[in-house]
Amino acid sequence: MIRALIIVDVQPTFCEGGELPILGGDRCAEDIAYFLEKNRDRYRLLITTQDWHIDPGAHFSATPDYVDTWPPHAQAGTVNARIHPALQGFAYDAAIRKGHYGAAYSGFEGMNDEGVSLNALLTGAGVTHVDIVGLAQSHCVCETACDAVKYGFSVRVFSDLTVPVTPELGEKASRVMCERGVALVRSCDARW
């Protein structure tokens, strides 16, 4: 089996002090960095995804409903759109950016700077198993995991390396992922 790790949207914009802060976002970034230090060699590919909004239209709103519309966040080229500082010291195989001109929750909606999609990168490297971590468990992690299943990958989300926007939304996302065939496990319980 060939594994990839996808680190979803761990950006300052979604952490404490950012435009759309998630409680525990900074700690999640630090925990993922610790996991990488111990487990990088288990993965054929190490991929990050980022919200990277250039002009996302109605995705941004001055009066957001926090369902379909949001305050401006992850604006392309800004410090808060970059990878979280805790994760900047690692060598990544690809950076997938999404949401340039509209809403995009799944990493499978984005592409790297060469225009290659996440699915093409994974299949091109012979990846069969995908582990997913990052922000937010209730939104972009859930959507990326469900799409990974749809594309035929065996998928795990490490529940201790992601946090939801709210506990209630996290519970809902967990149910959705389980129904779609995503395995939710703690990273310390992962079987290799």
Active site residues: 9, 98, 140
Q: Contact, 157 vs 148, CB < 8 A?
A: no
The half-sphere exposure of 119 on its side-chain side, counting CA atoms within 13 A, is: 13
Residues ≥6 apart with Cβ < 8 Å to 82: 11, 12, 50, 88
φ/ψ bin of 79: left (φ > 0), alpha (ψ from -120 to 50), beta (otherwise): alpha
Return the structure tokens found at 96. 């997938």
What sign has the CA pseudo-torsion 116, 119, 123, 127? positive
